[in-house]
Amino acid sequence: MNYWPLIGVAALALGFVLRLNPALVVVAAGFITGLAAKISPLEVLDVLGKAYTEKRFLLLFLLTLPVIGLLERHGLKEHAQRWVARLRGATMARLLIAYLLMRQLASAVGLTSLGGHPQTVRPLLAPMAEGAAQSNHGDLDEDTRQRIRAMAAGTDNVGLFFGEDIFIAFGAVLLIQSFFAEHGFKLDPLHIALWGIPTAICAFLIHCIRVLRFERAMIRRLAQQRAAELAAVADPARDA
């Protein structure tokens, strides 16, 4: 086995350590690997060109994280919290339920990329839910903030999972169709998707109840914490 092509990995690591231009580092590492494998420069260019044209859709996913990181660095979370705090009647539960409905409807028509944890939950939904809870119930402790973030992430999961099963071109629907076909049952994808609608409705109602119960439990917990803090402040005063 020829181990010389692995020198491209070392070149790639060295280029990133030296903080050189990532695109130049990747291209240079590709040429180094190709030459070490006794591939001509023209063949290396051909391989790189085919890989770029066939996998260019991945650039959308690769660009998501740096764009979100840049927005967060410039105060996206803080702006989202302040904006939702100015909305009258906005509560954490109403916000999450509205997002759940939107997420399910969008997923049902195949628009699954409109939401998601990195591009929507972390920079927008979770901060807005925290802002709504804080504007209605005062300052939040770290444990409560983490619970709200977890509920926001769970809301996105429920909306996506039960909404995308209604879309007839989704892989799960086709998987169900192939499973039944192997056992002698011929089902139309549209028929399977239609039967996913009652499940999606039930999931929506159940999660709405979970969100409302979560908010009530949060309110009670915050009230108990504040009562305990007031009692702790009052006891030393009585002793004095």
87 and 39, same domain (yes or no)? no
Give the pLDDT of the chain (240 residues) as one tens digit per residue: 777 888 888 988 898 888 887 778 888 888 888 888 888 888 888 877 776 666 555 555 555 556 556 556 666 666 666 766 666 778 899 999 999 999 999 988 888 877 888 778 888 888 889 888 888 888 888 999 999 999 999 999 999 989 888 887 777 777 778 888 888 888 887 888 888 899 999 999 999 999 999 999 999 998 888 888 888 777 665 555
Q: Is 79 in the same domain as 39?
A: no
**DSSP per position, the chain:** ---GGGHHHHHHHHHHHTT--HHHHHHHHHHHHHHHTT--HHHHHHHHHHHHHHHTTHHHHHHHHHHHHHHHHTTHHHHHHHHHHTSTT--HHHHHHHHHHHHHHHHHTT-GGG--IIIIIIIIIHHHHHHHHHHHH----HHHHHHHHHHHHHHHHHHHHHHHTTSTTSHHHHHHHHHHHHTT----HHHHHHHHHHHHHHHHHHHHHHHHHHHHHHHHHHHHHHHHHHHHHHHHHHH-
Q: Let me know if residue 63 belongs to a domain.
A: no
Task: Give domain status of residue 14, yes or no.
Answer: yes
Q: Are residues 29 and 87 in the same domain?
A: no
- Is there a single domain that holds both residue 19 and residue 92? no
Domain carrying residue 162? 75-239
Same structural domain, 38 and 144: no
> What is the pTM (predicted TM-score) of this model?
0.66
